[in-house]
Amino acid sequence: MNQRETALAATTGAILASVLGYTVVVKPTYERWSNARARVEQLQSDLEKANALVKRKNELTDEREKIETLIAPTDAGKPLVGPDAIALFLDHLDSLQAAAQLGQYVSNIQYVHTEIYDAFAELQFEMRARAPLKLIQDFLVRMRTGPSYLRAQAVRIQPRDDGTVEADISLIGLTTWDALDPDKRPKKK
């Protein structure tokens, strides 16, 4: 091999070593540092948000208590919280039926399902009654104007020949997660 070929081989080797060094060492290091900078900025942003929430802890706690107070179903002035919100909602429905003089016409009322939304639970009930329309209307008005968070989600009314109506009412009650019986709590998603 002559001197020219040796110089060309050395130059080619140096270029290959430079390219290989760049792709194996320099580029990954640069990308890692760039990602680290972006990650540090993201973590600092998350920390600022967390610190802002910590500073607002008392305000947020008060706000949550106000919301829980507003949506806590009540019956005769007692909040419906405790070991089993489902049973308490059913008791509340019974008292509404009695007040509307609908109790004797109700053929079925049952708990159906619970949906979980963070710290709150939505309890679903089904009620079936065959009664005069005026009594169904009175029950729905009492339920809507009452202090508890119990609302009709769907109402199906079918008239009958005897002057009554067949009413299928789907009801929703909102309560806190803590008010559910621990044995009956569905898993949070």
What is the overall mean pLDDT for the chain?
Answer: 79
Domain spans of the chain, in order of start:
1-55, 72-184
Model confidence at 76: pLDDT above 80: no
Q: What pLDDT shows up at residue 166?
A: 92
Name which of 110, 157, 146, 106 is nearest 129 in CA terms. Answer: 106
- The arrangement of secondary structure in 72-184, i.e. its CATH architecture, is 2-Layer Sandwich (3.30)
Q: Global pTM? A: 0.50
In three-state secondary structure terms, 130 is strand
Model confidence over 78-118: pLDDT tens digits?
A: 444 444 777 778 888 888 888 888 888 888 888 887 787 77
Q: What pLDDT shows up at residue 89?
A: 80
- 32, containing H or E segment: helix 27-55
Q: Please, what's the b/e burial string for 128-155 (b: 16 or more CB within 10 A of its CB; e: otherwise)?
A: ebebeeebbebbbeebeebebbbeeeee
Name which of 167, 186, 188 is nearest 112 in CA terms. Answer: 186
Q: What pLDDT shows up at residue 85?
A: 75
Cβ atoms of 137 and 115 within 8 Å: the answer is no
Model confidence at 19: pLDDT above 70: yes
Residue range 134-161: mean pLDDT, rounded:
85
End-to-end CA distance of the chain: 73
Q: What pLDDT shows up at residue 81?
A: 43
Model confidence at 189: pLDDT above 80: no
User: Any idea which residue has 């029950």 for tokens?
Assistant: 139
